Chain A
Amino acid sequence: MSAPKGWTGKFLEVDLASQSVMMRDTMPYAPLYLGGRGIAARLAWEMTPAGVDAFDPANPLIVFTGPLTGTIAPTSGRTVLVSVSPRVYPRPWVTHSTMGGWIGPELKYAGYDGLVILGRAKAPVYLSIDNDRVQVCDAGELWGLGTRETQIRLKGRHGEKARVMCIGPAGENLVRIAVIQHEEECASGHSGFGAVMGGKNLKAVVVRGSRGVAVARPRELLREIGRVREVARLSPVDAFSRPQDPAKPANRRPVCSQSCPVNCVLGSVHRVEGLPDDVTNCVGHNYTGGAIETSRYESRKLTIPPGHGFGPVDGVRAHLAGSDLGLDLWVLPTLQPWLLKCLEEGVSSIRGVPLRPAEPGWFIDLMQAIAHRRGLGALFSEGLRRAADALEGELPATLIEAARSSEFAFGFPAHREGRLWDPEPMPFWVVSALMYASESRDPTIGSHASCMLLANLKVRHGELAAARLRLLSKELWAAENALDPTYDHVVPVAIWVQHQHIVVDSLPLCDFSFPRTIGGFQDAGEWCACAGNGTDIEIGARLLSACVGDDYRSADLERVAERVLNLERALLAAFGRDRGVDASIQPHFELPCKTDGTCMSRIKFDSLMDSYYKARGWDSERGWPTRDKLEELHLGDVAGRLQACRGGRVR
């Protein structure tokens, strides 16, 4: 059999306890699960003991790339991580996270589609992968170092071309909001996987590869890249890359990932005397700006004040500290507004520690304390949601409630839910609510694909959007009313968005800047001029076909996405997730939407979930995939184990 194109055909399984390294075949998984999030979900299903804790040595940390990783397909430099997340509240379950940068491609160049890390080393180690040479190395000298110094030292040891992902003190100390950091600006952020590495005594993974990824049809790939560019002219990709003021030259922005042709607005380089160069992306910008108006929420039921960035010098200092400590940078926009609310409510200290959250020095000290689990930091190292439980009875109920709302989604920060952070009006926040209720983590990135840009257009150009959204709706969902401001037609939209997102995560492509062909327009004129450009799945299918040499159609990828989502749902079931847990997010949506004041009643939520489960082929009692649905998706073996969960024999 000839060597595969796109995929390398192999992945590594490393047991840190026994220091054994095993080579496994990717190709048995590729046809059904593609790569990235898809294959990782399947491996998690096969290898993760049901109900296992995030810090249990038996919890595998799965790092996987896809068939496009390492190629020149636009925005394909991403890597997917899957594991049991310590952040998930009230008890951990399997979730996923993606990361940009260069390490996934390097893994492919070393000859591997992915890496599964099992066990716990007796003492701190790092994993070195240099083509065929895979070693578990002593990391005693690195333990305790920040992520920047760790990377510099490992590049010093393994060469400047080596790619490193590592943890800082936060991960070492099992902080539930610890990230895995890569280069200056990339991280596997929200899912707390830094602490999973810490729990394995694994400081870093260093990769060096000198091979290439074979492309089956180079000419076809080049043609498809050209087509993506054409499509991108009417996509957020272009909107982001345009200079705000046409009279000024375009800003020179760094890309944060290999194969990214997008000079998107997310990246900024900051140069402050006496500090290393700093790059902020997306949430990082909150550190260097002024008031964080997006965090302001005011309703009859709840108020959250705006956060407070620290400006161009102290902000860079704080941002660098967060990255170096290996903390999820959302710690600022989530925790700081809540601490400011404490002051507003007359609570000037917690457990004897005076609160000064708007002062950069104080906040940096707090981040240090969180990463090292010291003093007040120990409380917040568990995440704000768990801290709220610990503080119940100590602080006024309004503050406990505000903390729980800030991380309402199983311990993940509120985002893209039309309330605490973003302004999505009806029906976009309802789409998000369905995704929150059915998936393993906040669906922020998935809803970037649909909600963010379309919703913003609706906020900015209401009347025009009403007309254009009907045309779009007809094109994508064969009904004009799918995006009407009601609850009645959103289920197919949510399913569509979920499938788009899974395909993007499985190829994988950038889930922020990949051309989402349905949105991202600067003004009303562009919106009017836009015709249907196809979907991410269609583009993905063409890029995939060119790279691997088999002809994939959109329907094939749609099928993969449905299979992966059902498998992820079965994984959640194995960790005790059911309809009752899904419904725990509902009270958050009783808060009025910050744009249009709409909110969701319990009855309406139940009815929506009934419709969603039915459309998915899941049972209405628990919201678990039925045997028929699983067998239809070639997941018959999953049905058997799920049945055991149903009978309560597992867990």
Chain B
Amino acid sequence: MLACSLHHTGRCGPALARLWVTKAVESYAFAIRVCRQCRRPLCLDACPVPGAMAQTAEGVVHIRAERCNGCAVCVEACPFAAIAPSEELGLCLKCDLCHDRVEGPLCVELCPTGALAWEGR
């Protein structure tokens, strides 16, 4: 989450990240929510703001910060709870696989145990 927020905002903070990892005190189990890059993205269909959401040629759905108004219709449309509105930034956030980064997703690069891999789609 810190790599994610750093790449997208120049700041480190889980609330600015495009994925959500939580751990309960009751048990040592983690819950991870992250965009699955659906082949038929319902969020993209639902977005009411022209150009606020787009899909790259590789199929990555991303939110354009300069156009998104944070209406959160995409949040409702996502069946995997993998989009969330950010009060801090005033827009909705979802994983875009760092599509603007030549080296690929930063989380993959920084994962210390090699648990993440980017294999394209």
Chain A interface (Cβ < 8 Å from any Cβ of B): 70-72, 109, 148, 151-152, 155, 160-161, 183-184, 209-215, 218, 221-222, 225, 229, 254, 258-259, 261-263, 269, 276-277, 279
Q: Are A276 and B10 in contact (CB under 8 A)?
A: no
When the two chains form their complex, are residues A210 and B88 in contact, meaning their CB atoms are under 8 A apart? yes
Question: Which of B22-30, B39-47, B53-61, B65-73 is found at the contact surface with chain A?
Answer: B22-30
Q: How far is the CA of A155 from the CA of B29 in the complex (A)?
A: 16
Whether A259 lies near B112 (C-beta < 8 A) is no
Task: Give me 28 A-to-B residue pairs in the complex whose CB atoms sit less than 8 angstroms apart, sorted by A's number.
Answer: A71-B6, A72-B2, A72-B3, A72-B6, A72-B110, A109-B13, A109-B14, A152-B26, A160-B24, A209-B15, A211-B11, A211-B88, A212-B9, A212-B11, A212-B15, A212-B88, A215-B6, A215-B10, A221-B6, A225-B110, A229-B112, A258-B2, A259-B2, A262-B112, A263-B113, A276-B27, A277-B26, A277-B29
Contact A212 B12 (CB under 8 A): yes
Given A71-B2, A262-B112, does the pair A277, B27 have CB atoms closer than 8 Å? yes
Q: Establish whether residues B2 and A218, one from each chain, have CB atoms under 8 Å apart when the complex forms.
A: no
CB contacts (< 8 Å) of B9 on chain A: these are: 212
B12 & A269 in contact (Cβ 8 Å cutoff): no
Most buried by B among A72, A184, A261, A262: A72
* A213 and B11 contact, Cβ closer than 8 Å, known pairs A71-B2, A160-B24, A276-B27: yes
The distance from the CB of B116 to the nearest CB of chain A, in whole angstroms, is 13
Give min CB distance, A13 to chain B, whole Å. Answer: 24
Check B25–A183 contact: CB distance below 8 A: yes
Q: Report A-chain residues with C-beta under 8 Å of the C-beta of B15.
A: 109, 209-212
State the CA gap A326–B25 with chains docked (Å): 16
A209 to B29: give the CA distance in the assembly, Å.
22
B12 contacts which of A72, A155, A263 (Cβ < 8 Å)?
Answer: A72
Whether B16 and A212, one on each chain, are in contact in the complex, defined by CB atoms closer than 8 angstroms, is yes
The 4 closest A-B pairs by CB, nearest first: A212-B13, A212-B11, A261-B112, A210-B15
Contacts of A213 in B (CB 8 A): 11-13
Q: Give the residue name and chain of the A residue nearest to B3 (CB).
A: A72
Which residues from B are CB-within-8-Å of A254? 28
Which residues on A sit within 8 Å (CB–CB) of B5?
212
In the complex, what residues of B have CB within 8 A of residue A225's CB?
110
Chain A residues with CB under 8 A of B7: 218
User: Smallest distance from the beta carbon of A482 to chain B beta carbons, Å?
Assistant: 33
Q: A209-B13, A212-B5, A214-B10 given. 12 additional CB < 8 A pairs?
A: A71-B12, A72-B2, A151-B25, A152-B25, A152-B26, A211-B11, A211-B16, A213-B11, A215-B11, A222-B106, A259-B2, A276-B26
Q: Do B22 and A263 touch across chains, with their CB atoms under 8 A apart?
A: no
Q: Does B119 contact A (CB under 8 A)?
A: no
Contacts of B14 in A (CB 8 A): 109, 161
Distance of A215 Cα from B5 Cα, bound (Å): 11
Q: How many residues of B contact A (CB 8 A)?
A: 26
* A72–B87 alpha-carbon span in the complex (Å): 22
Docked pose: A213 CA to B87 CA in angstroms = 16
- CA distance in complex: A215, B87 (Å): 20
* Contact assessment for B12 and A215 in the assembled complex, using a CB-CB cutoff below 8 Å: yes
Residue in chain A with minimal CB distance to B113: A263
Chain B, residue nearest A221 (CB): B6
B112 close to A218 (CB less than 8 A): no
Please, which residues of chain B bring their CB within 8 A of the CB of A152? 25-26
A155 to B26, CA, bound (A): 11
Complex-state Cα separation, A211 to B89, whole angstroms:
9
CB distance from B33 to the nearest CB of A (A): 13
Residues B25 and A184 in contact, CB atoms below 8 Å apart: yes
Question: A211 to B13, Cβ gap below 8 A?
Answer: yes
Q: Are the CB atoms of B16 and A279 closer together than 8 Å?
A: no
Closest chain A residue, CB of each to CB of B23:
A183
How long is the Cα–Cα vector from A262 to B112 in the complex, in angstroms?
A: 7
Contact between A70 and B25, CB atoms less than 8 A apart: no
Max chain A C-beta neighbours (<10 A), residue from B3, B6, B22, B106: B6
| Contact flag A210-B87 (CB < 8 Å), given A184-B28, A215-B11, A262-B112 | yes
Instruction: Report the bound CA distance from A537 to B88 in whole Å.
Output: 35
Chain A residues whose CB sits within 8 angstroms of the CB of B26 once the complex forms: 152, 276-277
Give the distance in Å from the alpha carbon of A160 to the alpha carbon of B27 in the complex: 13
Provide the residues of chain B in CB contact with A209, threshold 8 Å: 13, 15
Task: Report A388 CB to chain B, min CB distance, Å.
Answer: 37
A38 to B21, CA, bound (A): 32
- Distance (whole angstroms) from the CB of A521 to the closest CB of chain B: 20
Considering the chains assembled together, what is the distance between the CA atoms of A71 and B25 in angstroms? 23
Measured CB to CB, the nearest residue on chain B to A147 is B25
- Tell me the nearest residue of chain B to A271, going by C-beta: B28
How many angstroms between the C-alpha atoms of A151 and B16 in the bound complex? 24
By a CB distance below 8 angstroms, the chain A residues around B106 are 222
CB of A542, distance to nearest CB on chain B (Å)? 17
Contact call A70/B22, Cβ cutoff below 8 A = no
Q: How far is the CA of A623 from the CA of B14 in the complex (A)?
A: 46
- A209–B3 Cα gap in the complex (Å)? 18
Let me know if A263 and B112 touch, CB within 8 A: yes
Residue of A nearest to B11 (CB): A212
User: Are B25's CB and A148's CB within 8 A?
Assistant: yes
Q: Is the CB of B13 within 8 A of A70?
A: yes
Nearest-CB residue, chain B, relative to A69: B12
In the complex, residue of chain B having the shortest beta-carbon distance to the beta carbon of A160: B22
A210 and B3 CA atoms in complex are apart in Å by 16
Query: What CA separation (Å) do A262 and B111 show in the bound complex?
Result: 10
For B93-118 the 0/1 string (1 means CB < 8 A from A) is: 00000000000001000101100000
Q: Given the complex of chains A and B, what is the CA–CA distance between A229 and B110 in angstroms?
A: 10
Q: Which residues of A contact B88 (CB under 8 A)?
A: 210-212
Residues of A within 8 A of B110 (CB): 72, 222, 225, 261
In the bound complex, residues from chain A placing their C-beta under 8 Å from that of B10 are 214-215, 218
Q: A72-B3, A210-B87 are in contact. Are A161 and B22 (CB under 8 A)?
A: yes
Out of A72, A161, A214, A269, which one reaches B28, CB within 8 Å?
A269
C-alpha gap A184/B14 in the complex (Å): 20
Q: Which residue of B lies closest to A73 (CB)?
A: B12
Chain A residues, Cβ within 8 Å of B27: 276-277
User: Which of B10, B29, B110, B112 lies at the interface centre, i.e. has the most chain A CB atoms within 10 A of its CB?
Assistant: B112
Nearest opposing residue in chain A for B2, CB measure? A72
Interface centre among B2, B6, B27, by most chain A C-beta atoms within 10 angstroms, is B2
B74 to chain A, nearest CB (A): 20
Cα(A212)–Cα(B12), bound, Å:
5
Which chain A residues lie closer than 8 Å to B16 at the CB level? 211-212
Docked pose: A276 CA to B25 CA in angstroms: 9
Tell me how far the C-beta of A267 lies from the nearest C-beta in chain B, rounded to whole angstroms: 10
Q: A646 CA to B21 CA in the complex, in Å? A: 55
Complex: A72 Cα to B113 Cα, angstroms: 15
- Contact partners of A261 in chain B: CB under 8 A: 110, 112
Smallest distance from the beta carbon of B26 to chain A beta carbons, Å?
6
**Chain B neighbourhood of A277, CB < 8 A:** 26-29
